[in-house]
Amino acid sequence: MIKLGEIQLLKLNKADKKELIFIDEDGTQVFVKKEKGMDIVEKGQEAKVFVFKKGSRNEGTLRLPALAVGEIGYLKVTDITNIGAFLDWGLDKDLFLPFKEQKGQIKTGREYMVGVYIDKSERLCATMDIYEMLGTDSSYKEGDKVTGTIYSMKKGLGAMVAIDNKYHGLIQEKDFIGKRIGDKIEARVVKVRPDGKLNLNLFEKAHQKMDNDAEKIYKMLVKAGGFLPYNDKSNPNAIRENFNMSKGSFKVAIGRLYKRKLIEITQRGIKARD
């Protein structure tokens, strides 16, 4: 059975000067245009063919793309037009990324995480909305370290993360600052939900050895959106009232946060670093 957008092992049935004609086990034909440098395939031999639709017939190529249908990965933007963007995926014709499938601002020359799907006209396209493509059957457990990419942000919920380009992850809104769509992150699994999705935490990995005062200040900073109008010049009474600690303890704590490159200390207050 021919599957559009997938790499299939097909048998060469016949060839002419311009095309190779492959067939599957049912005899369905796939036409492959001859290209310079193409591997030589003899009649009756099998070869890996990437299959797509062109007009009313099945066509293919022996050049394999970076991604097939249902797969997720990083592709570079080669052009932006009034109908959408185009991505380099290793074939002569770039992959189309419609405007409606984009998340955030797209720039030429940058790489973005996308998935490949087939639209209603049987055209292969890219999407940055990869939620439905991610799985929930990972082997990760609570306490494990993971890496992933933020692919969406939802107010009131948090950052949606593609772990290993395969699995669902979520960082709650209160637990991250200074991040944006496309950022690659390292995190720790804090909970495996009943549906298999993973709750993540950026804070624990970077701050697990902090003393209580530094941890308390940083959590307050995160909750406040990344800025607090207090620094080592602030009034001791204001510090006591807002942080329930002495000015001396406050200065030591923000000094430790600064040394760990987690905050900037400005004339207006303290600011979380990206």
Last residue of a domain, one of 205, 235, 252: 205
Q: Do 52 and 17 lie in a common domain?
A: yes
| 109 in any annotated domain | yes
pLDDT of res. 27 = 93
For residue 158, the model assigns a pLDDT of 86
The CATH number assigned to the domain holding 110 equals 2.40.50.140
Q: For residues 55 and 93, state if they share a domain.
A: no
Counted residue by residue, the chain has a size of 274
Question: Is residue 92 situated within a structural domain?
Answer: yes
- Of 205, 231, 248, the domain-final residue: 205
- This prediction has a pTM of 0.65
121: buried, middle or exposed (CB in 10 Å: 19+, 13-18, 0-12)? exposed
**Would you state the pLDDT for residue 206?**
41
113 and 138 part of one domain: no
Residue 146 sits in the same domain as residue 109 = no
Whole-angstrom distance, CA of residue 100 vs CA of residue 128: 9
Asked whether residue 195 is assigned to any structural domain, the reply reads yes
Range of the domain at 31: 7-61
Instruction: Indicate whether 181 and 215 sit together in one domain.
Output: no
- Check: CB of residue 114 under 8 Å from CB of residue 153: no
pLDDT less than 50: residues of the chain? 204-209
The CATH number of whichever domain residue 248 belongs to comes to 1.10.10.10
**138 with 177, same domain?**
yes
- If asked whether residues 200 and 140 sit together in one domain, one would say yes
The number of folded domains in the chain is 4
Integer CA distances (angstroms), 133 to 115, 127, 236, in order? 7, 10, 53
DSSP state of 156: T
Closest of 182, 184, 185 to residue 77, by C-alpha = 182
Shared domain check, 95 and 46? no
Pick from 131, 132, 95: nearest CA to 111: 95
> Is residue 67 in a domain?
no
| 3-state secondary structure (DSSP) of residue 136 | coil
CB 170 within 8 A of CB 197: yes
Residue that finishes a domain, picked among 186, 205, 224: 205
Q: Are 121 and 179 in the same domain?
A: no
Residue at 2 is within a domain: no
Residues 143, 171 share a domain: yes
DSSP assignment letter at 3: -
In a domain, 66, yes or no: no
**Does 1 reside within a domain?**
no
Q: Do 268 and 213 lie in a common domain?
A: yes
Domain assignment present for 41: yes
Same domain for 142 and 116, yes or no, is no
- Residue 1 neighbours by CB under 8 Å, 6+ apart: 24, 25, 26, 28
